[in-house]
Amino acid sequence: MKGVILAGGLGTRLSPLTKITNKHLLPIYDKPMIFYPIRTLVNAGIEEILLVTGGNNAGDFLRLLGNGKEFGLRELQYAYQEREGGIAEALALAEHFAEGGKIAVMLGDNIVERNIVRAVEAYRRQEAGAKILLKEVENPRDYGVAEISGDRIVGIEEKPLHPKSAYAVIGIYLYDGRVFDIVKNLTPSARGELEITDVNNAYIRMGAMTYDVLDGWWADAGSSIEGLMKVNILVYETGANRMD
C-alpha cells in the first residue's frame, strides 16, 4: 500500500503566519507540521509516499524532506496542485503514483496521538472498497459527520445543523483504485471544489465503505490559530504518533 499526503491550500485560517510559508511547514512543538503525517504513515508500514502541495512555497518541501530517507522511506515523490480545487481534486494527482493499488490518504495538518496500524492492517485484508477513520468529538457540527447503523456507515453529512452522531470523519482515508474514477465523475460543490465527502458517500452508496474509530486524540492543526496552539500543547504533553 502506498501513501498520499495532501499538503496544499493557502492556509488563510492561520494568517498572518502563512503569508510567507505553507501552513504544513509551521512548527508543531519541535518539528515541522508535515513531519507528523509522514510518521503516521511510516508507522503503519507504508514505505512509498506522494506529497501533493501547491502555492508559492512548494519548493520548501523538497528542501526540507529531500528523498524521505530520514523517515526510512523507500520513495518520496512530489506533485503540484495548480489551483484551489478541493481535497478530491488534489487526490486525483495521485492516480499515476497509485498504479491501481490501494492507498492511504492523509491530510497534512492532521496529527494523531497514537497510530493507525490497526486500521491499515484491517484494510489490507479488506478485499476492495474504502475505509475511513472516525473520532468522537464534542462539536460535530464543525465536521463531516458519519451516520452509523450497526457496524455500517449509511451516510456522511458535512457540517450538519442536526448531527446524526458525534463521530467526525477525520482526514485519514483508505481507498482502492476506484477512487480516481469516482473523482472524475464528481460535480463541483457550491464553493467550486471537488469534495472528499462526495467521494466517501459514493463508496457508501456502493456498499463498499468500512470504518474504524481512532485511538487517542486527533487534532486538525490547520483549523485556526487556537487549534494550532492546542495541538502544540498536546504534542508537548503527550507526544504524537505513539506506538504503545
**Residue 211 grid coordinates:** 470504518
Q: How many domains does the chain have?
A: 1
H, E, C per residue of 163-196: CCCCEEEEEEEEECCCHHHHHHCCCCCCCCCCCH
Residue 190's pLDDT is what?
A: 85
Q: Is residue 36 part of a domain?
A: yes
Q: Is residue 29 part of a domain?
A: yes
How far does CA 32 lie from the centroid of its chain? Answer: 16
Q: Is residue 223 part of a domain?
A: yes
Residue 56's pLDDT is what?
A: 84
**Residue 52 grid coordinates:** 501533493
- Asked if residues 138 and 37 have their Cβ atoms less than 8 Å apart, the reply is no
Q: Is residue 166 part of a domain?
A: no
Provide the b/e sequence for 141-154 (b: ≥16 CB within 10 Å): eebbbbbeeeeebe
Task: Quote the longest CA-to-CA distance of the chain.
Answer: 47
What are the average pLDDT values for consecutive 10-residue runs of the chain, which has 244 residues? 92 89 95 98 98 91 96 96 88 97 97 98 97 96 93 93 96 97 92 92 96 96 94 97 95
Residue 121's pLDDT is what?
A: 98
Q: Please name which of 175, 25, 213 lies closest in space to residue 109, comparing C-alpha atoms.
A: 25
Neighbours of 16 (CB within 10 A): 7
Domain that holds residue 226: 2-125+171-192+207-238
Measured between alpha carbons, how far is 221 from 230 in angstroms, rounded to an integer? 8
**Residue 210 grid coordinates:** 468500512
Q: Is residue 243 part of a domain?
A: no
Q: Please name which of 109, 112, 152, 161 lies closest in space to residue 135, comparing C-alpha atoms.
A: 112
Residue 5's pLDDT is what?
A: 98
Measured between alpha carbons, how far is 4 from 70 in angstroms, rounded to an integer? 18
Q: Is residue 94 part of a domain?
A: yes
Measured between alpha carbons, how far is 168 from 11 in angstroms, rounded to an integer? 21
Task: For 50, list phi and psi in degrees, rounded to 5.
Answer: -110, 125
Q: What is the CA radius of gyration of the chain?
A: 17
What is the CATH number for 102? 3.90.550.10
Residue 82's pLDDT is what?
A: 86
Using DSSP bridges, classify how beta strands 103-107 and 167-175 pair: parallel, antiparallel or unpaired: antiparallel
